Amino acid sequence: MARPLRLLLIVCASVLCGIVLTVVIALYLLLQPDRFTVMLQEQANDAGLQLTLSSPASPTLFPRPALQLMGITLTARDTGTGTSPNLPILLAANGKLVLPWRTLFGGPMMISRMQINSPRVDLDALQAWLMSLPPQSANVPEQIPRIATGVRIRNGSVVENNSEWLSDVSLDTGRLAPAKVFWVNLSAKETDGTPLQLQISSMPSIANGALRLDRINVHASDSSATALHLTGQARWMGAANASLQLRGKFYLAEQGNYDAAVLLRPAGESTPLLLHLILLGKDNHVDLQLPPLALAKWWNQLANPQGPHLSAPPGSGQVDMATLDIGKVHVEGLSVQTGDAVPASAGSATAPAKPIVPPQ
């Protein structure tokens, strides 16, 4: 090869290597993966959690600026009590944070989309973390956090007591912004392979110190043609000051349609937050009023592996079912009354039972 040609090739290769090196350095300096890692860890720490990665975040520029996260582990933060290590709440093989271009050029640190692959959520660890949180008065945020293009999760699983509860979990969300319709699509499979589908949409906004969810639309179904469809609205004014009105239909295979309602009454000076569940069908009637906070405490006691406490669930109401199938258990002619719905003794004055009012 002629000497001038060899020199030209050497010069071209040197220039190309210089361009590649410059792009790599610029990419690292612009994305600054360390600052995003620190930001995520700080936000997790504020929630009482510890976020770790198996390796430092790596930046990519095409087709859009993003950070690759490997070996994601989320655990409850160590309180220094000397107890046994906390089990991971979430384990994920990898994830990606897609960033807006303006973030690269000195703009605010924002995430336009989050992708998580093969996450494993442990319900026992999640419950333990929730129970360890200190009581505090929750306030309505001043503004709704924004997700420019949503969240995507693929090939996830949910376990409880080291047994898989749900598999093949996929989740997609739309854009989260004030006065814009926000949607969530969730699909999964039960342990027997039954596919589940859940779609939720609503329009969030904050006004006059209250978080409003208008135009709520809930649709859930499985492969056996069981389906639930509810519409309504919700309000949250902070702490236990919340209200919810959802009404619609519940279809149960081989049993037809039910009128359904889910109502939440805010707590008062002498009354707790109260959840009202109504199902009205041809032969089956359910009308229950349950305090959610007390119900969660009752469930935690019942599921305590160190010593479950058996007791009647809190709340009042009545359940009349012509037939009931739970797994391999088949019950006929079930009638349950609890709380205020239990009839008084024969020797005492009895008040007429409150009729079940169908949802409007």
pLDDT tens digits along 114-162: 899 999 999 888 878 877 766 554 566 677 766 777 889 999 999 987 8
Q: Is 280:356 a contact under the CB 8 Å cutoff?
A: yes
62 and 153 part of one domain: yes
The reply to whether 66 and 111 lie within a common domain is yes
Give the tens place of pLDDT for each residue, 301-310: 655 555 555 5
Q: Looking at the structure, tell me whether residues 205 and 152 fall in a common domain.
A: no
Same domain, 230 and 161: no
Asked if residue 105 and residue 186 are part of one domain, the reply reads no
Among 6-10, 200-204, 249-253, the minimum mean pLDDT is found in: 6-10
CB-count exposure of residue 355 (10 Å: 0-12, 13-18, 19+): exposed
- Write the CB contacts of 326 (distance below 8 Å, at least 6 apart in sequence): none
Assign 295 a pLDDT band (cuts: 50, 70, 90). low
Place of tokens 């949910």: 158
What is the average per-residue pLDDT within 218-247? 86
The per-residue pLDDT for 356 is 40
**Domain presence at residue 4:** no
Mean pLDDT (the chain, rounded): 76
**The two three-digit tokens of residue 219, written as one number:** 């649709």
* Pair (50, 162) in one structural domain: yes
The number of CA neighbours under 13 Å toward the Cβ of 75 is 12
Q: Phi and psi of 16, rounded to 5°? A: -65, -45
The reply to whether 183 and 152 lie within a common domain is no
Output the pTM of the full model: 0.72
171 and 239 fall within a common domain: no
Based on the fold, state whether residues 299 and 325 are members of the same structural domain: yes
Identify any residues that bridge with 170 across adjacent strands, giving them in sequence order.
187
Residue 104 in any domain: the answer is yes
Residues 220, 199 share a domain: yes
Cβ 321 vs Cβ 299: under 8 Å: no
Tell me whether residue 350 is in a domain: no
Asked whether residue 138 is assigned to any structural domain, the reply reads no
- Give the domain range for residue 186: 178-335
- Does 307 lie in the same domain as 277? yes
User: What number is the average pLDDT over the span 319-332?
Assistant: 68
Neighbours of 20 (CB within 10 A): 10
Q: 91 pLDDT band (50/70/90 cuts)?
A: very high
Specify whether 117 is located in the same domain as 196: no
Asked if 150 and 175 touch (Cβ cutoff 8 Å), the reply is yes
For the chain, what is the domain count? Answer: 2
Q: How many helices (H) and strands (E) does the chain have?
A: 5, 18
Find the mean pLDDT for residues 29-51.
75
CA-CA distance, 234 to 215, in Å (whole number)?
A: 9
